[in-house]
């Protein structure tokens, strides 16, 4: 076997072993993290509410989901009252993160928002986060899709 034939066979072997991996990676039916039940991507109920978490999860601080069936959602307690907002920063569109200090902070430019979504301080964001309707039923934390 000459060198050219050998390299042709090696190349064909590489393609044959790589092709199944490439096909699976490009398959749109492959389960992704956003479709897993852990991400709370349940469909909205007839009244427009969707479960985004549990009361137990809320006790650890806040529930922040970048993806849900109603879009990005963040839920926290503010003076004992349940408050839900869209956690998309109104300046650059980054997802804000809940801080133990009781505020949302944008990781892109450190803009700060209160649990109710109002802008705190002198950051670049001037527009508050969009407020969503939220409630608790049993152990479920529910948020209503915005109109």
CA distance 82 to 71: 18
pTM, two decimals, is 0.67
For residue 136, what pLDDT is reported? Answer: 92
Cα–Cα distances in angstroms (integers) from residue 138 to residues 51, 53, 78, 105, 135, in the given order: 11, 12, 20, 30, 10
**CATH 2.102.10.10 applies to domain 36-144:** yes
Cα–Cα distances in angstroms (integers) from residue 53 to residues 34, 37, 90, 121, in the given order: 15, 11, 24, 30
Residue boundaries of the structural domains of the chain: 1-30, 36-144
The model's pLDDT over 60-111, given as tens digits with 9 standing for 90+, comes to: 788 888 888 888 999 998 888 899 999 999 988 999 999 988 899 999 989 9
Please answer whether residues 128 and 113 qualify as being in contact, where contact means their C-beta atoms are separated by less than 8 angstroms: yes
């Amino acid at each position: 076997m000459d060198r050219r034939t050998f390299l042709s066979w090696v190349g064909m072997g590489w393609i044959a072993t790589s092709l199944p991996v490439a096909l699976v990676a490009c398959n749109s039916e492959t389960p992704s993290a956003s479709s897993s039940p852990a991400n709370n991507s349940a469909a909205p109920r007839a009244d427009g509410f969707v479960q985004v978490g549990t009361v137990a999860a809320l006790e650890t601080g806040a529930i922040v989901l970048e993806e849900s069936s109603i879009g990005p959602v963040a839920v926290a307690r503010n003076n004992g009252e349940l408050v839900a907002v869209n956690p998309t920063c109104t300046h650059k569109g980054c997802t804000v993160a809940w801080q133990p200090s009781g505020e949302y902070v944008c990781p892109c430019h450190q803009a700060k928002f209160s649990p109710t979504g109002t802008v705190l301080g002198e950051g670049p964001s001037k527009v508050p986060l969009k407020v969503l309707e939220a409630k608790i039923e049993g152990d479920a934390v529910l948020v209503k899709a915005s109109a």
